[in-house]
């Protein structure tokens, strides 16, 4: 008698665990997935920012740093992505790098434009 009870309880436990496993694996929220994907795309957009803008004047093209610093502040903030930096030398080195590698800057800007289109910002 005890053996049959043990067999039934084993099956009952297996069924309950099976239902729990199915419930845990089937639960998938599409809206949450879209929100997470969009959040990651926004983060990638900020990461790709070169913090440089291309300026054209008098038929010549040049680059200009996108960082600004309000008077009396020690931090610099990128106007394009909102990144905050406290190291002016790093900003100057980055601007020098992009000035020496304009083709890479064009490629980076193209990536940013493609990602911005996916996000609906262009």
> For residue range 30-69, what is the model confidence (pLDDT) as tens digits?
888 889 988 998 888 888 889 888 888 887 878 888 888 8
Q: What is the DSSP string of 32-80?
A: HHHHHHHHHHHHHHHHH--SEEEEEETTEEEEEE-EE--TT---EEETT
pLDDT of residue 20: 73
CA distance 20 to 107: 49
- The pTM of this model reads 0.61
User: How confident is residue 23, by pLDDT bands cut at 50, 70 and 90?
Assistant: low
Is it the case that residue 1 has pLDDT exceeding 70? no
């Amino acid at each position: 008698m005890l053996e049959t009870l043990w067999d039934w309880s084993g099956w009952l436990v297996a069924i309950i665990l099976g239902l729990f496993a199915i419930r845990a694996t089937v639960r998938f929220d599409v809206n949450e997935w879209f929100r997470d994907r969009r959040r990651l795309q926004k983060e990638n957009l900020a990461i790709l920012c070169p913090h440089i803008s291309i300026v054209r004047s008098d038929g010549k093209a040049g680059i200009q740093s996108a960082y600004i610093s309000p008077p009396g502040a020690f931090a610099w903030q990128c106007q394009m992505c909102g990144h905050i930096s406290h190291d002016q030398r790093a900003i100057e080195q980055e601007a020098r790098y992009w000035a020496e590698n304009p083709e890479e800057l064009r490629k980076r800007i193209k990536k940013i434009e493609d990602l911005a289109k996916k996000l609906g910002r262009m």
